[in-house]
Structure 1
Amino acid sequence: MATPETIRARPARAIGTPLASGIAVLSTLLGLVVLAWVILFVTKGRFLKHSFETIVAGQTNRQVKVAGDFQLYFAPFNLKFVAEGMTITNPDWAGTGNFFEARRIDSQISTWSLITGNRRINWLGLEDGRLDLQWNKGNTRNTWTFSEEKGEPLELPVIARALIRGTMVRYVDPRMHIAAAIRVDPVEATDTRFASAVGFDGNGTVRGTRFVMNGTLLSPNATIQGGRNELKLHAEALRTTLDVSGTLPGFTELDGSDLQMDLRGRNIADAFSLLGVALPDTRTYRLKSAMTKAGDEWRFTNLRGTFGASDLAGKVTVKMLQPRLLLTADLATRTLDIVDAGPFIGYSPSASAAGAVVTSVGGAPRILPDAQLRAEALKNFDAKVDWTVRNVRADNLPMSNVRLGLELDDRLLKLSPLNFSLARGMVSSDIIIDSRRQPVVTDYDIRLSPTPMGVLLAGFGVEESGTSGTLKARVQLTGRGNSVHDSLANSNGRIAIILPKGSFWTRNVQLAELDIGTFVQKMFENKLKEPVQINCGLLGFTVRNGIAAADPILIDTEKSVMLGRGGFSFKNETLDLAFRADGKKFSLFAGQSPVGIGGFFAQPKIDVISPELLSRAGVGLGLALVASPLAAVIAFVDVGDAKAADCGPVLAGASARAQRDDKGRPRDDIGKGTTATSEDGKRSRGERKEQRKKFLGIF
């Protein structure tokens, strides 16, 4: 049995042996690290040159060589890397030459970034470098993605500070149609806040258009706390000038940048065409905005500027996605000049500015826009745009409060809503343009809410104070074609303009355009001493293959019923309409003959002395010769047998077949949706053929 003395004599076991073992191992490892650090620091790691070439060549599947000095060590914590005459070859598909070469590269790499994979370079000195950045034709591989997998987008390492001399960068992207060469050289830094200043300039082509650029990038002095790189960039291409200035967090770090953009030129469509984005043409413009990058988005905020005689403000984001970039925008305009709105429906802004919206085709005037939709460009991007316009500057067009919602998804373009206030009424539109199909298919649905005619037609001789009548309308058409003109020229559908009960009064004013006031006076009375009292009215047209036929035209007033026949053509923009007012009561003297509207959309004409009236005048003259002067009056007697209309079908916008008189009987005095309908509702087959030839532009 052990005595207390024996126990004291035994050697004591070391306390915490596992902990001590761990400390010993850690100390050994730390010692080895320190030893390695010392060896690397003393030797500058030059003995690792061959190992470096072998390892990097194996990882990149490229030939890697360092012809001159080589250093790789910790100084004291950042990894110091120096190589002279270093080359990395291109992959075989990129042709001969090197992906990278430099007479000398001197860098300090963040050790922590090597662990986390952030690739941060605290300092880079590069002399006489060459960098060849290429995508292959299929856009599946590039020279900077060293694995055999699909090429990744270009992401430069974060470089905090740099001094680059005599370096050239080449970039080729067949899919984006970009080829550029940029030269980088130091320039004098006059500001003591900056340690170095790098100048760059270059040129190239974007989608076949040549561009030039130049600028400077100033790296901050390391002794200044919180210094940021300052960028100035100037670029010109396709009548467009871009200036960018501001600061970057790092020499190549764009995320979180604080930049200001100034973009100006003759046509904003030029600038966006370089991105492959199709926008309507504009007149001379200038836009300024704050600009930054966040991940895969370029954000343009506090946007403000002008285009033509209109203003623009808001924000725009361009998201670089595959296979199509995404353009989103929230825009607002205080005043939009109607000339600047022309390109949105196909008018040339230069022609519109000169007042030449009417063109001549085959000697005939044409007003429908025939600018072709750039369907191919719609493949390159998607878009979501909201645009509001407070006021529209336009003569005789009381238009305001425009709201446009635009969505483009893989070539399917939706303009919904496309709404605006018009003379205290509201036009609501939904237009779908499907360019996935060729020719392009467009669906039009345009609605006008009840609108005071006195305001709407004030510029056409209508007296607002004596007009209480309103009108509402709807256009529903589907057409095929790559322009507004072609689409409507092949369209099918219906147009209906409805006049509810109200009064209508005109002034005797002659205008260069079609004078609605004069037309009404000729239709109802020689001189209007009081407003026309309208019970109900419908100007309905059925459209087949671009030809609109009256279906029906029927306006019921207190004293008369006005009927119309004929139609118009979207193909050659001709008008051939005849209107006749029949009295509800006996009248001794009444022309009772059609008043015609002919000519073209751009140049309509009123035909007051119609062939029918001349014929009746001849009959009257014959009666006067063979009988007596009083007999001549018989030719102009209106017996007052006009059939009053049932206003129900009229106000519902129903077709001619559904119309009834006030006794509920089907009407037999209105057209049945064909331009070949005469006064009695019938025409010979030959007459119908001749009428169709006229609308098709054969004559």
Structure 2
Amino acid sequence: MRASHWLGRHWRILLAGLVALILLALATLAAFPWGSLDRTIESRLSKALGRPVTIGSIEREDRFSLHPVLDIRDITIPQPDWAEADTPMLRVHRMRFGFDALALLFGTTRIETLDIGGADALLIRTADNRINWSGASGKSEEEGSSTNALHALSLQNVTIAYRDALQNRRFDVTLNGGSQSGLDVKGSGSVHGAPVSVRAHGGAFAAEDGSGRWPFELNIEGQAVGLVMHGTMAKPLATDSIDATASAHGAGLAYVDALIEAGLPDTQPVRMTATLARRGPEWKIEKLNGTVGRSDFSGDATIRKGGGQSRIDGTLHADRFDFADLSTDAQRAKADAKQARQGKLVVPDTAIDLDNLGDVAGVLRLHADRLLAPGSDPFTSLDATLTLEKKTLTVSPLRFGMPHGTLSGKAVIAQKSAGPQLHLQLELNGGQLSDLFPASGVDAPARGRIDLTGTGKTIRAAIGAASGRLALTARNGVLPDKTALLLGQDVGGGLFAGKKKQAVLRCLIAPFTLKNGTASAGNVRIDTSRAVTRAAGTIRFPSESLNLALHGVAKQHSTLRIGGAVPVRGTIKSPKISPPEKGDSVGDVIGQVGKALFGGDEPVATDIDCDHAITAAMNF
């Protein structure tokens, strides 16, 4: 009670004392002799950068202000030991800068004016992402801009040499001018070894109070790659607040990515335009339009960087899309040479290794109205949502349109220590056999299912090591009468069958079990109006080599039936049917003819329960 009574009587004295103390602190800060800290600043910079920084002198130009201006002479920052360069990282002959002294009390640096007269910098980034302008470790660090309060800038004879082994690019530029008269940047460089010229200009920024925005333009131009950007920043060099329009072109997407660093793969030649907006760690990309080879695209995206990670939320739409455009000419030539050695295969050799994506996460929605042949056969359109989190890419929903029906489901790629692990779960609905096997002459409504898991750096390699199940079924279709007779091993009937005559395909049931890339046929049956044919054997991935045997039983008397199993070799794309095991000699054929003419009746097949068989095959 006494304490509260005392405070009630003396609160005005306490408040006045507190105000006086604050004013004294502000006056001390406003009159602080910053020039006397030259050796302290030198020592702290040396400790932070892990190398001996030297400063010739620091003098304060004004005497009393919370926005002091310092004149610093002869600053030298050497290269870190790992840089292996004789030239210092930075040498500044003269620098004047004004700052907000109050901001220092809150642990931030707010540079308000900057005037540099004569400076040379050699900036280095290694292939393992070490940068010489960071701390002692050389690791890249995300820092907020210290120029977001800058309203007066002057640079004279400032040269920057930039060497980037990670993105395979280098630039040599000179900066002259300032916020009052305009800033000019001129120089040259190279991207992936291709020469480019560099020009940039920042307009006048006359508003002393910091209102308005600073206009700028950037032009990096070369035959192999180019980037043009026009826009504004909140203040001179305030790269954390940008509004701009941009256009780019490249001999491949890797050339453009070397400039924008989005972790994109190399492709066929690319052109694109977009509007950009940056606020702090977040970029918004809108009105994105462009082409890659024969493909086109449009869309928008938001990219947010923080915590060493880039998070993307975007949507892309293509009127036309060619999977082959996602590879370079050299990659195409390599794939063609591989195909020449191995033959045409069904399973694509698309890379699924996620290591090259770095620390990227987020969601990307894709839609293609029309997939361009031949690489897309038999698929005609694509819808996919890609979600990347913690080195796991989930493509769900995933939907391929076909001339009839869809193939849909999901694919999950998880980056494991043994390599990328692929888990596929897909279903074919409303399909037609003629879409899958156009040269066979067989057609029927088809259904299918795939559920398998395998490890490999490409889809083909992963399925070559996969285990799981797959099934293809069809019901109520047609096939050439000659094919139906031969499936029943009725060679005589097949030889004299009419070319245009059709038989009924009651059903096809083809279930397989995969183990370590080998698909073993289950109870495979083909039921036609002519015969019932069963198949046994294996399909070996990734070669897609067939080792199957067909055994057909006719549903009626055969003109000339060849006994034994019919071997099927070759590949899925190019099967090779050999003579039956019991019909590979003249004597065997003569014996079969004699049996057909004088022997007893052959056993005949009966219809199978197609509905029950299809349900059993699809039950997994």
2:487 is matched with: 523
Q: Does the C-alpha gap of structure 1 residues 503 and 623 become closer, same or farther in structure 2, counting only changes over 3 Å?
A: closer
What is the CA distance between 1:652 and its match in structure 2? Answer: 2.4
> Which of 410, 425, 444 does residue 390 from structure 2 map onto?
410
1:201 is matched with: 187
Amino acid at match of 1:416: S
> Which of 431, 435, 455 does residue 480 from structure 1 map onto?
455
1:314 is matched with: 299
Q: Over residues 293-313 of structure 1, what are the superposed CA-to-partner deviations in whole Å (9 max), with x where a residue is unaligned?
A: 222233322111011111111
> Which of 75, 79, 83 does residue 87 from structure 1 map onto?
75
Partners of 2:59 and 2:436 in 1: how far apart? 86
Q: Over residues 214-253 of structure 1, what are the superposed CA-to-partner deviations in whole Å (9 max), with x where a residue is unaligned?
A: 2223241516995532323234799443332222221111
Q: Does the C-alpha gap of structure 1 residues 353 and 227 become closer, same or farther in structure 2, counting only changes over 3 Å?
A: farther
- Normalised by the length of structure 2, the TM-score is 0.77
Q: Does 1:399 align with 2:371?
A: no
Q: Does the C-alpha gap of structure 1 residues 194 and 64 become closer, same or farther in structure 2, counting only changes over 3 Å?
A: closer
> Which of 199, 219, 225 does residue 215 from structure 1 map onto?
199
What is the CA distance between 1:317 and its match in structure 2? Answer: 3.4
Q: Does the C-alpha gap of structure 1 residues 87 and 239 become closer, same or farther in structure 2, counting only changes over 3 Å?
A: same
What is the CA distance between 1:50 and its match in structure 2? Answer: 4.5
Q: Does the C-alpha gap of structure 1 residues 144 and 130 become closer, same or farther in structure 2, counting only changes over 3 Å?
A: farther
- The worse-fitting range, judged by mean Cα deviation, of 130-139 and 259-268 is 130-139
What is the CA distance between 1:518 and its match in structure 2? Answer: 7.0
What is the CA distance between 1:128 and its match in structure 2? Answer: 0.7
Partners of 2:309 and 2:25 in 1: how far apart? 53
Q: Does 1:165 align with 2:156?
A: yes
1:285 is matched with: 270
2:7 is matched with: none
- 5 Å-filtered alignment, 1:93-242, equals 101-109=91-99, 119-130=109-120, 153=143, 155-158=145-148, 159-169=150-160, 183-186=173-176, 195-201=181-187, 203=189, 214-222=198-206, 227-235=212-220, 239-242=224-227
Amino acid at match of 1:394: A
Q: Does the C-alpha gap of structure 1 residues 573 and 360 become closer, same or farther in structure 2, counting only changes over 3 Å?
A: farther
Q: Does the C-alpha gap of structure 1 residues 78 and 137 become closer, same or farther in structure 2, counting only changes over 3 Å?
A: farther
% of aligned pairs identical?
18
Q: Does 1:303 align with 2:288?
A: yes
- The worse-fitting range, judged by mean Cα deviation, of 552-561 and 277-286 is 277-286
Partners of 1:521 and 1:352 in 2: how far apart? 42
1:621 is matched with: 590
What is the CA distance between 1:381 and its match in structure 2? Answer: 2.9
What is the CA distance between 1:72 and its match in structure 2? Answer: 2.9
Pairwise CA RMSD = 4.9
| Corresponding residue SS for 2:151 | strand
Partners of 1:238 and 1:320 in 2: how far apart? 31
Contact 1:523 1:595 in 2 (8 A): no
Q: Does the C-alpha gap of structure 1 residues 576 and 634 become closer, same or farther in structure 2, counting only changes over 3 Å?
A: farther
2:3 is matched with: none
Contact 2:517 2:541 in 1 (8 A): yes
What is the CA distance between 1:583 and its match in structure 2? Answer: 1.9
What is the CA distance between 1:81 and its match in structure 2? Answer: 1.7
Partners of 1:447 and 1:280 in 2: how far apart? 29
Partners of 1:478 and 1:155 in 2: how far apart? 47
Q: Does 1:555 align with 2:535?
A: no
Partners of 2:63 and 2:302 in 1: how far apart? 44
Partners of 2:215 and 2:410 in 1: how far apart? 47
1:647 is matched with: 610
Partners of 1:543 and 1:50 in 2: how far apart? 77
| Corresponding residue SS for 1:87 | strand
Amino acid at match of 2:605: A
- The worse-fitting range, judged by mean Cα deviation, of 212-221 and 254-263 is 212-221
Q: Does the C-alpha gap of structure 1 residues 245 and 654 become closer, same or farther in structure 2, counting only changes over 3 Å?
A: same
> Which of 373, 384, 388 does residue 363 from structure 2 map onto?
384
Partners of 2:385 and 2:454 in 1: how far apart? 21
Partners of 1:636 and 1:250 in 2: how far apart? 100
What is the CA distance between 1:530 and its match in structure 2? Answer: 5.4
Amino acid at match of 2:363: K
Amino acid at match of 2:151: A
Amino acid at match of 2:145: E
Contact 1:168 1:184 in 2 (8 A): yes
Q: Does the C-alpha gap of structure 1 residues 312 and 521 become closer, same or farther in structure 2, counting only changes over 3 Å?
A: farther
Q: Does the C-alpha gap of structure 1 residues 587 and 573 become closer, same or farther in structure 2, counting only changes over 3 Å?
A: closer
Q: Which runs of 5+ in 2 are unaligned?
A: 1-9, 48-52, 489-493
Contact 2:196 2:225 in 1 (8 A): no
- Normalised by the length of structure 1, the TM-score is 0.70
Partners of 2:264 and 2:125 in 1: how far apart? 27
| Corresponding residue SS for 1:220 | coil
Contact 1:78 1:111 in 2 (8 A): yes
> Which of 445, 458, 465 does residue 490 from structure 1 map onto?
465
What is the CA distance between 1:331 and its match in structure 2? Answer: 1.1
Q: Over residues 121-176 of structure 1, what are the superposed CA-to-partner deviations in whole Å (9 max), with x where a residue is unaligned?
A: 443221112457789999899766699x99663633222342211224467889x6
| Corresponding residue SS for 2:267 | coil
Partners of 2:247 and 2:471 in 1: how far apart? 48
Q: Does 1:249 align with 2:234?
A: yes
1:419 is matched with: 399
Partners of 1:49 and 1:496 in 2: how far apart? 79
Q: Does the C-alpha gap of structure 1 residues 374 and 243 become closer, same or farther in structure 2, counting only changes over 3 Å?
A: farther
Partners of 2:62 and 2:90 in 1: how far apart? 19
2:536 is matched with: 565
Q: Does the C-alpha gap of structure 1 residues 136 and 588 become closer, same or farther in structure 2, counting only changes over 3 Å?
A: closer
Partners of 1:70 and 1:309 in 2: how far apart? 62
Contact 2:487 2:552 in 1 (8 A): yes
Q: Does the C-alpha gap of structure 1 residues 25 and 325 become closer, same or farther in structure 2, counting only changes over 3 Å?
A: closer
Amino acid at match of 1:298: W
- The worse-fitting range, judged by mean Cα deviation, of 517-526 and 102-111 is 517-526
2:5 is matched with: none
What is the CA distance between 1:375 and its match in structure 2? Answer: 4.8
Contact 1:412 1:436 in 2 (8 A): no
Q: Does 1:448 align with 2:428?
A: yes
1:543 is matched with: 514
Amino acid at match of 1:639: E
Contact 1:542 1:550 in 2 (8 A): yes
Q: Does the C-alpha gap of structure 1 residues 441 and 195 become closer, same or farther in structure 2, counting only changes over 3 Å?
A: same
Partners of 1:144 and 1:458 in 2: how far apart? 60
Q: Over residues 239-285 of structure 1, what are the superposed CA-to-partner deviations in whole Å (9 max), with x where a residue is unaligned?
A: 44333222222111123311122222232245447888664542211
1:666 is matched with: none
2:439 is matched with: 460
Amino acid at match of 2:239: L
Partners of 1:86 and 1:269 in 2: how far apart? 40
Contact 2:405 2:429 in 1 (8 A): yes
Amino acid at match of 1:165: Q
| Number of corresponding residues | 594
Q: Over residues 305-350 of structure 1, what are the superposed CA-to-partner deviations in whole Å (9 max), with x where a residue is unaligned?
A: 011111111123333334443344321112223543xx5xxx7666
Q: Does the C-alpha gap of structure 1 residues 100 and 570 become closer, same or farther in structure 2, counting only changes over 3 Å?
A: closer
Contact 1:160 1:252 in 2 (8 A): no
Q: Over residues 497-516 of structure 1, what are the superposed CA-to-partner deviations in whole Å (9 max), with x where a residue is unaligned?
A: 1123x13145xxxxxxxxxx
Partners of 1:141 and 1:265 in 2: how far apart? 26
Partners of 1:480 and 1:307 in 2: how far apart? 30
Contact 1:220 1:227 in 2 (8 A): no
Partners of 2:472 and 2:402 in 1: how far apart? 15
Q: Does the C-alpha gap of structure 1 residues 330 and 92 become closer, same or farther in structure 2, counting only changes over 3 Å?
A: closer
| Corresponding residue SS for 1:495 | strand
Amino acid at match of 2:604: D
Q: Does the C-alpha gap of structure 1 residues 296 and 20 become closer, same or farther in structure 2, counting only changes over 3 Å?
A: closer
Amino acid at match of 2:587: G
Amino acid at match of 2:468: G
Amino acid at match of 1:443: H
